[in-house]
Structure 1
Amino acid sequence: MPEPHLLAADTDRAAVVTRLDESLADGRLTLAEYEDRSARAHAARTYGELADLTADLPLPARREPARREPARSPVASALHGGAWHGAWGHDLRAAWTGWVTTAVIVVGIWLVTVLGSGDLQYPWPVWVIGPWGVVLLARTIGERRSQDTDRQQLPA
């Protein structure tokens, strides 16, 4: 990074937040640490402030570009036994993190309105997080079963 006292640009802040996103997905940061650091990254004015946010994180490994498979229609995927297999596969942790974050926010808003009004209100957050959570749970179970099936098919 350039000298710590120089002013950072929006692209510099975005790069640090992307690195924090990856660290959260890798399990290096808790959700609370991620939220704190990303908020501080967006508010950072200098390169020094940005460097402090990632100083304890390992340098990102160089990644090879992902191989692209030919696009299949959902029907073709289902016929080949891989209905959307891989569509979320490696992003399940990120999907669950997004769900938890959203759940905390909407339940918090609901609680503030309940406490502010003094009377119990309809629990509308269930309609935001309920169906989403059911879909994520089904997808997670499906991924686990798929991984178990793949392991059983490997030669010993």
Structure 2
Amino acid sequence: MSDDAVPDLRASDADRERVAEVLREALAEGRLDMAEFDDRLDAAYKARTYGELAPLTRDLPTPGATAVSFVKEPVRGGGWADRITGGEGSSTGAVAILSGFERRGRWTVPRRFSCFTFMGGGELDLREADFADREVVINCVAVMGGVQVVVPPGVEVVVRGVGVMGAFEHPRDDAPPEPGAPRVVIGGFAFWGGVGVERKLPRAERKRLKEQRRLDRGR
């Protein structure tokens, strides 16, 4: 089994409980405040794979071996080249009929991803995602439903969808794409529904900026 496959392995109840114990220890030592603890603990008990557990204790000391101590995540050099894999996508589509779907965290966006919602909703969060190619196409069909696409800063977004008593929303900012960043083309059809696109910082970057602001206020 390759190292890259390890994060996709299913976690057990014992794995989740070991991560929860690390979080409780961090709370007792003052490494986490109550809000952070609650968020991470909730995520730990909802986690299905080792890859979902790993980020919850990555910045915490973990005495002994834990469920995530052996999870080896791909090392990134900080550039977009590390996130354009040239491989296959984690999944090629999603459907929500009177229900919902989401793709978030570490996943690989395929060259073409198709999704359909009928009186339901979906979220595609690309902030932590890898990309199978330099350009990926996301085709959305929303009928009395909606799809929200979240992209990180620097990614080029092209919206080509058609809305009939519905809409395809463009990102609010018009910042130029970063060199080497992937291009995300969003198309499809919305009838009494909508497809929205928004830019958000990755969670790690938001946390870093929050901590920096806290340190600046303390000076």
TM-score range, shorter chain: 0.3 to 0.5
Give TM-score, length-normalised by structure 1.
0.37
Instruction: Select the structure that is richer in strand.
Output: 2
Q: Which has the larger radius of gyration?
A: 1
Which structure is higher in RCO with an 8 Å CA cutoff and minimum separation 6?
Answer: 1
Give TM-score, length-normalised by structure 2.
0.27
Instruction: Select the structure that is richer in helix.
Output: 1
